[in-house]
Amino acid sequence: MKLNRQAVLGCLIALSLSGQARADSDEHEDEHEGEPVTTIASEIALDHGITTIEVGPATLRRTTKTYGRVVVPSNQISHIRARFGGLVTDVAVDVGDAIKAGDLLATVEANASLKRYQIKAPIDGMVTQRHANAGEFAEDQVLLTLVDASQLWAELRVFEGQLTEISTGQPVMISSATQSTDSVIRTILPSMDEHPFVIARAQIDNSTGAWSPGMFVEGNVVIEETAVPVTIETRALQRMGDETGVFVRDGDQYEFKPVSTGRSDGMISEVLSGVDTGTPYVTGNSYLIKADIEKSSAEHED
Amino acid sequence: MIDSILKSAIERRYLYVSMVLVVIGVGIWSYSELPIDAVPDITNVQVQINTEAPGYSPLETEQRITYPVETVLAGLPNLAYTRSLSRYGLSQVTVVFEEGTDLYFARTLINERLGAISSTLPGGLEPEMGPISTGLGEIFMYTVSAEPGAVDDAGRPYDAVALREIQDWIIKPQVALVPGVIEVNSIGGYDKQYHVTPFPEKLLAHGLSINNVSEALRRNNSNRGAGFVEDGGQQILIRSQGQLTSIDDIEQVVIAIPHGNPIRVADVAEVSIGKELRTGAATRNGIETVLGTAMMLVGENSRTVAEEVAEKLDEVRTSLPSGIVLDAVYTRTSLVDKTVATVQTNLLEGALLVIVVLMLLLGNWRAALITAAVIPLAMLATMFGMVRAGVSANLMSLGALDFGLIVDGAVIIVENTTRRLGLAQQANGGLLALRERLDVVYDATREVIKPSLFGVAIITVVYVPIFALTGIEGKMFHPMAATVVIALTAAMLFSLTLVPAAVALFMTGHVSDRESRVIQILKIAYEPVLAQLLKLRWVVACGALALIASTAWLATTLGSEFIPQLDEGDLTIQAIRIPGTGLERSVQMQTKVEAAIKSFPEVETTFARIGTAEVATDPMPPNIADGFVILKEREDWPDPEKSKSELIEQMEGVLSLVPGNNYEFTQPIQMRFNELISGVRSDLGVKIFGDDLDELNRLGGEVLRVLQVIPGASDTRLEQLTGLPMMTVIPNRIALARYGLSIEEMQDMVATSFGGEEVGLIYEGDRRFKLAVRLPEALRQDLDRLGALPLALPDGGYVPLSEVAEPVLAPAPNQISRENGKRRIVVTANVRDRDLGSFVAEVKNRIASDVSLPPGYWVSYGGTFEQLESASRRLSIVVPITLVIILALLLMAVGNIKDTLIIFSGVPLALTGGVLALWIRDMPLSISAGVGFIALSGIAVLNGLVMVSFIRDLWLEKVELADAVIRGALVRLRPVLMTALVASLGFVPMALNTGTGAEVQRPLATVVIGGIISSTLLTLIVLPVLFQWANRVVRWK
């Protein structure tokens, strides 16, 4: 009797204790490993912003960002000097005056001949500097500086990593803090004084006068623009394990399909293999599908 | 000694009875001091050390913070173990001390050690200890929101930043003043910050770097005192004022003056009120909100504190801007009130039932009242004892209090004195003289005092094994055992002193010797049955054995659980998303989850904490949300009959349709305990320690494969260490050198651009807000362009980041867990359909043979199997010792082995009833039920003792054995029935109650009631049979 009681009591307590373990283990039951598939009813998908489009052709527009400054090309700057040394008798223009080629700028009386001769504007432009006044002696210093700012150039710095992709003829969008304009890379110059970059030059039409030399600009160079037959939206791509792919929709079912991608412009990616044209895949909120498929492995740990 | 106490009690009966007033006074005072809560606090002695490290990745957090903190704590006195986790921006080291360590002492030690390493930690990082609170600490939560259409002074609608500002600077400082509140934790909204966001191209245009902006702001934002001068005897203080106070001020700060042209902040950057990079958010009913949690100081009275917080909130409301709504969403008061009400009803109804039974069976109202008076007095004395012993009043500690049991001793004494007084009056033919009456009382008491004291002592002793439980079980059940022991001891003292004194004082009137009608009828029925059964002793003995055998089998078929889970009335639904899910995405997903929850008509409100709060008491990553679901009162449900598990099932159904979430259903307190105690919660945890994370992961995978094929293994799981997508910027040292940049300069620029840099504070009165520099949001978000980030060169030029460093996106450690100062990974498994011991042994063997561990890596085993092992080891020692003590006590009481064993036979017989009762009510075995069985053994022994000692006394008076057995059994019918009835009826309300918390107490009460019924029936039948059988060959000389 004594043994019996002891055994029963001991056994009851041991059983009670082991109950703790069993009660705790009843979490996470619906674990379905393997198939990267999930089912979401269409109205729920709609409610959660899950949207689908089809794999199809698109134009890939790859760009790269460069920075640089606006400069006046040297052929549009004219530093006016007196041809023969002498006395400046008259200056016809002042700083800020717009002038045409052939306009009178100043009159100088040559020392040698004591004849007066006229200095005329060689280019269209604007007087930006004036170092001469009537009565002053002109020798070989610059009397006036004319600048033609109707056409400016952006000199963009192209670093090593971008160099292979940039070439002349590529469209570029040049923008400052307040404005932007489209242009084309005209020339590529090696950098002076051994800087580790080259200069890509693009012309800016400044007929409105909104641009000014010295401005700091950003240039988005379109390095590639091609029509690609099979593309997907880049935001649709999700990583599952070691693979990258998209979620292909079949009715209410979404399946992960690994995709190998080629070129990409950040918005659109070229598909090399994995999905065919016309396949519906998830673009909007694709992360939610990934979250739903992988959720069984998610647990609280701390 | 007992005799002299009895004598003095009867002689000085006035004095003794007036002592009652003292007991009442002390008891009432104790009640006001007694901490009241719903459940016992099972948190271990632990201190959390949190270090916030904005921008630090898990690897850096571990290397720079967690490791030094852990190292400096090694070797603290009473240290049990440390565990830590390093996450993005947070290092948390949890230091667990041995049980019984004084928490304040432990914190002082830690503080001292932390002081020593403050200089070795990266600048500006400050390890802080978590609030002095426990798992029961989160007693009150409220949300701050704006009414639709409400606008601030400037006419703008309140946004998440404004709401958080109100919480941090208006509400929190006031709530924190409530006595007993140790911390007010905020989560949700955004900390208001002043943001300076420079545009890279504008900076480049001026040849500036983002760091020039930080530097300028840092140097142009302070007030400084400059001493004083005395001017004509008057002291004049001098101070120079330079603090920035507004957006305008900030915009005017000059960064540099190249060529004499000052460049102001406004020229290169935008200045605005911005949002911090937050680590946590809160939602309510599908809308973002700000959530405040009041945490209670350890050892405070949760109901009082929660009530005071609620009152304080009423005050706070008057000081809020109009249109701001402050809602209390969770308060502990309601739970505690409901459980207290349940316990009160149980105790009160139990006490009333006991009194009624006493009236009926004693047939004398004075006697009944005297016995019943022991109930409140014992309760008051118990409360005094609980306060002294530091036991709080809660469902568990009050869960085993049975007034029937408590008054057992008194019942026996009062019953006997009543009977004897009756007999004496009959003999005397009228009322007794005072002296005679006192003598009769004295004799009658003395006659039964020994069995009654022994009985109570035995019931007390059976609770001793409970004190051998350790860990969580210990914390749950020690208070229960302590309370019962205190109550029984008090009752024992009263039956020795107060009861005889009161009987002597009050039982002056006529006492009928005739027993009440109920007893008379029972006796008429009992006598022939007993006489018959005495002849059929074989049948009786075999029947009893068969009964025991069949219930033992039945017991194995019952399910089992640890402790019936307290139904807290509210739910928590943890929504868990895949690691790497961003906070804002998590918030979006949570709003959908909450919309689904709110669609249930039973739900009053629902709210959630996502990620980590300001004070990282529960450091969750952003992919996890703790959702609270506050349910309406049952009356307001469309179907008040619907069970909670049904509701949970329906919710699971609806929520499983919301994509991307995994759910864990728990309850607020339960969840908090889980989080704090944490550790390994499965049956077996294989911990692999080592240095290299990849290697640990690989070994973990190997161990997992080994575990999976071992028979009995289920729910095998490998701790997830990786999975956090991380963009690592790997510098190209040569390229950097070519551009004249150092790695630090590069890192500074990257960190400031994306993470932002705190460059000072903006003061608005008491309120202070961080001033931060970082890239404009649109640029920060564009990860594809990370490589295009222009870095300013010392000569004024720039270079794109991609020229000097390579950004690599790859999964990285999600969090790094460490234990006792070493990295570890855990593989967990539960065991089904197999005994744990052999499973663990096989796992150990297989891992030793199949997994080859490289040098520097080792394995250790943990999990609940350890607790099970240690508990069964302890119990296998303590239970036999207890049995020996009971036997020894019995032997002292009855004086011979044979009787002792006969009495002891009542124990298994009592257990049969308990098991049957559980089976009938479809309840699983639990520790609560186990405690019921323990109590039952004591009561069974008490019954047997009363019966056997009386039969033997009769037999000693040379009555024929059979006669003695029958007569003794008949005379003892009344006390046996009375003690049994009061003890079982005392528990009836507890067994039947359906209020909040009743489920915790129900199994114990059920076992005791069932057991007492069977034990009483069997005591009345089997015991006399056995006694006669055992003694049939002995002829008394």
Chain A nearest C-alpha distance from B315 (Å): 38
Q: Residue B773: its pLDDT value, please? A: 92
Banded pLDDT at B458 (limits 50, 70, 90): confident
Banded pLDDT at B513 (limits 50, 70, 90): low
* Angstrom distances, CA of residue B424 to CA of B9, B223, B420, B443: 21, 98, 6, 12
Q: Residue B540: its pLDDT value, please? A: 83
pLDDT value at B119 more than 50: yes
Q: Residue B530: its pLDDT value, please? A: 82
Which chain B residue lies closest to A65 (C-alpha atoms)? Answer: B788
Q: Residue B379: its pLDDT value, please? A: 87
The whole-angstrom separation of Cα B987 and Cα B409 is 17
Banded pLDDT at B372 (limits 50, 70, 90): confident
For residue A66, the cross-strand partners are: A219
Listed by number, the residues of chain A in 267-286 with a beta carbon closer than 8 Å to a beta carbon of chain B are none
Listed by number, the residues of chain B in 525-584 with a beta carbon closer than 8 Å to a beta carbon of chain A are 548, 552, 555, 559-563, 574, 576-579, 581
Of A104, A110, A103, the residue nearest A83 (C-alpha) = A110
Note whether B661 contacts A295, CB cutoff 8 Å. Answer: yes
Tens-digit pLDDT profile for residues B467-489: 877 777 788 788 888 888 898 88
Of A16, A40, A160, the CB nearest to B659: A40
Percent of chain B with pLDDT over 70: 97
φ/ψ (deg, to 5) at B584: -65, -40
Tens-digit pLDDT profile for residues B491-506: 888 888 888 888 888 8
- Provide the 3-class DSSP secondary structure of residue B751: helix
Percent of chain B with pLDDT over 90: 19
More confident residue, B64 or B644: B64
pTM of the predicted structure, to 2 decimals: 0.82
How high is the mean pLDDT of chain B? 85
Q: Provide mean pLDDT across the span B167-190.
A: 92
pLDDT value at A301 more than 70: no
Of A280, A176, A262, the residue nearest A224 (C-alpha) = A262
pLDDT value at A13 more than 60: no
Which chain A residue lies closest to B590 (C-alpha atoms)? Answer: A48
Q: What is the dihedral of CA B270, B272, B277, B278, to 10 degrees?
A: -170
Chain A residues whose beta carbon lies within 8 Å of the beta carbon of residue B681? 24
How high is the mean pLDDT of chain A? 81
More confident residue, B592 or B866: B592
Of the given ranges (A242-246, B207-211, B706-710, B980-984), which has the lowest mean pLDDT?
A: B980-984
* Axis crossing angle, helix B2-11 with helix B13-33, rounded to the nearest 10: 100
Chain A nearest C-alpha distance from B678 (Å): 7
Chain A nearest C-alpha distance from B738 (Å): 9
First to last CA, chain B: 32
Q: Is B911 on the interface with A (CB under 8 A)?
A: yes
Size of interface A-B (CB pairs under 8 A): 210
Tens-digit pLDDT profile for residues A163-216: 888 889 999 999 887 888 999 999 998 877 777 788 999 999 888 888 888 888
The H or E element spanning position B305 is helix B302-318
Note whether A302 contacts B561, CB cutoff 8 Å. Answer: no
First to last CA, chain A: 48
The whole-angstrom separation of Cα B175 and Cα B976 is 57
pLDDT value at B68 more than 80: yes
The H or E element spanning position B82 is strand B79-87
Contact A189, A182 (CB under 8 A): no
Note whether B662 contacts A28, CB cutoff 8 Å. Answer: yes
From the centroid of its chain, how far is CA A273? 27
Of B806, B792, B796, B783, the residue nearest B733 (C-alpha) = B806
Q: Which residues contact A146 (CB under 8 A, 6 or more apart)?
A: A77, A78, A80, A99, A105, A121, A122, A123, A125, A126, A127, A128
Note whether B868 contacts A1, CB cutoff 8 Å. Answer: no
